[in-house]
Amino acid sequence: MIQPETLLLAYRSGIFPMADGRDDGEIFYVEPRRRAILPLQGFRCSRSLAKLLRQERFRVTCNADFGAVIAACAQPRPDHPETWISRRIEASYRRLHLAGFAHSIEVWDGEQLAGGLYGVGFDGVFCGESMFSRADNASKVALAWLVAAMKRAGMSLLDCQFMTGHLASLGAVEISQEEYCALLARAQASSPASGAAAGAGAGARAGAAAGEGAAAGALVRAGALPLPEGFALLSATGDSSPGKLISQLLTHTS
């Protein structure tokens, strides 16, 4: 199992772990040459998605069933028969979730889990790991709630790791790894004690890849709320429904 401190150090250094299969005991760290991010002001909320959000066909929660979300994301799919989420990786993120730095968004159709996503949150950054959908548009609803919650929390960087056609249709753009690391450093700059972790450079990356634990520094960015608190602000809408609020946030500022 990867220790939470090692996982956080890896993400703060711009790398992340993967495996070659569900039962693969080995883990390797990835530093893509090209990185996909989704600018929070550039999320493309189509008319049909905005209508779906306003209708509130789905019930959406945060951290209500992290285990079910990561388990669903790890299941084989027709286009990806072998998952990169090994049992070791899954166990590591479950532990990171218990530590308060891995979060899930669940989309429910009645009592059935229809879709969702999970990722790692720190210093105003959310690194999306994977998403799944068992109903039409369920993953889009999850992503819309994520973007809106990040806005409410004052977060600044949504990392999507690798570009896909689905992400591109929602506003994701591809940048170089160097550009990504600059955005990552900027997001961490106002976190009082994260300089050591953010500035460790190649040493930090080598340490994470070797599986060594290290002090991760301050774990919450000054001025940005943790993702669950931003999500809670969406639900505290008074007379307005959360779906209408999110639709307005994403269509008026995109």
Residue 45's CATH number:
3.40.630.70
Q: Which DSSP string do the residues of the chain spell out, in sequence order?
A: ---HHHHHHHHHTT-EEE-SSTT----EEE--SEEEE--GGG----HHHHHHHHHT-SEEEESS-HHHHHHHHTS-BTTBSS-S--HHHHHHHHHHHHTT-EEEEEEEETTEEEEEEEEEEETTEEEEEEEEESSTTHHHHHHHHHHHHHHHHT--EEEEES--HHHHHTT-EEEEHHHHHHHHHHHHTTSTT-HHHHT-HHHHHHHHHTT-------SS-TT---HHHHHHHHH--TTS-HHHHHHHHHHH--
Residue 171 pLDDT more than 70? yes
Whole-model pTM? 0.85
Q: Confirm whether 216 is domain-assigned.
A: no
Q: Confirm whether 217 is domain-assigned.
A: no
The whole domain housing 91 covers: 4-192+224-251
Considering its fold, how many domains does the chain have in total? Answer: 1
Q: Confirm whether 214 is domain-assigned.
A: no
Q: Confirm whether 234 is domain-assigned.
A: yes
- Report the percentage of the chain scoring pLDDT > 90: 74
Q: Which of 29-33, 58-62, 176-180, 195-199 has the lowest mean pLDDT?
A: 195-199
Q: Tell me the per-residue pLDDT of 29-46, one tens digit each, with 9 for 90 and over.
A: 999 999 999 999 999 999
